[in-house]
Amino acid sequence: MRRWVLACLACVICGAVGRSAETPAEVDLALVLAVDISLSMTADEQFVQRSGYVEAFRSPTVHQAVAQGQVGRIAVTYVEWAGVGNQRVVVPWTLISGRKDALAFAERLSQSPPRRSTWTSIASAIDFSVGLLTETRFQPVRRVIDVSGDGPNNQGRPVTRARDDAVAKGIVINGLPLMIREPSGPWDIKDLDLYYRDCVIGGTGSFMVPVREREQFAEAIRAKIVREVADRPPVPLILRTQTAPATNCFVGDRPSPDWD
């Protein structure tokens, strides 16, 4: 009888341990860093951009922001994207609970050279990122997609539909429009910051940080990540006015079967 009772207790304990092991880790933030690698990005711009993200996670300011969260840890993944169906996870979901984890994430990111590809489908990047947030093993207080790029959506479904679908799931989309070069190609637009403001970012507290100078890359990325991690109220970078003309969110799009 005693052996039977002990065996039952062992089964209960093992079951409890198993359930505990399967419990998702709670984090303040699940953050997808979705980075444009389309051909409009020069090799130099890509290098500076990648270096900016690497340096951000090496920054004591970011480490401190993570530590000051309610839970004190975040989950981050880094994704490169271009056209429809062209997304690649460079660094998978990583738990960052301190300086050591952040430095390891930065080191892993620095080891993977950026690549380049055709087209710019911000909509597909958002959809892919939503999938990653849905499948994550973590239990986040907030879910954020951080989109950086140098041009408008020019392939796939309308970016506003992708944005609205993500926001409806409680996901926030922030932006880093890169405006270093003067518009020169057929898919370039002059007011990319306005495009990101009106067509890409969305959700409660969403914001964007335009980058107009090469030297701003690292600081802009660091400031944006700190704001996302700390969940600080954003300072308006561009004020909306009643007289401002509405941005054309379909400026780079072509008619597509996906538009039904």
In tens, the pLDDT along 178-231 reads: 998 776 665 678 899 999 999 999 999 999 999 988 888 889 999 999 999 988
> What residue ranges define each of the domains in the chain, with the CATH number in brackets?
25-232 (3.40.50.410)
* Least confident stretch, 16-20, 105-109, 142-146, 207-211: 16-20
Question: Sheet containing 87-96: which strands, arranged edge to edge?
Answer: 87-96, 74-81, 25-36, 138-149, 172-177
Look at residue 19 in the predicted model and tell me its pLDDT: 43
Give yes or no for residue 242 having a pLDDT over 90. Answer: no
Q: What are 142-159's pLDDT values in tens digits?
A: 999 999 999 999 999 999
Structure-block tokens of residue 176? 């880093």
**Residue range 16-29: average pLDDT?**
70
For residue 150, the 8-state DSSP code is: S
- pLDDT above 90 covers a percentage of the chain that reads 64
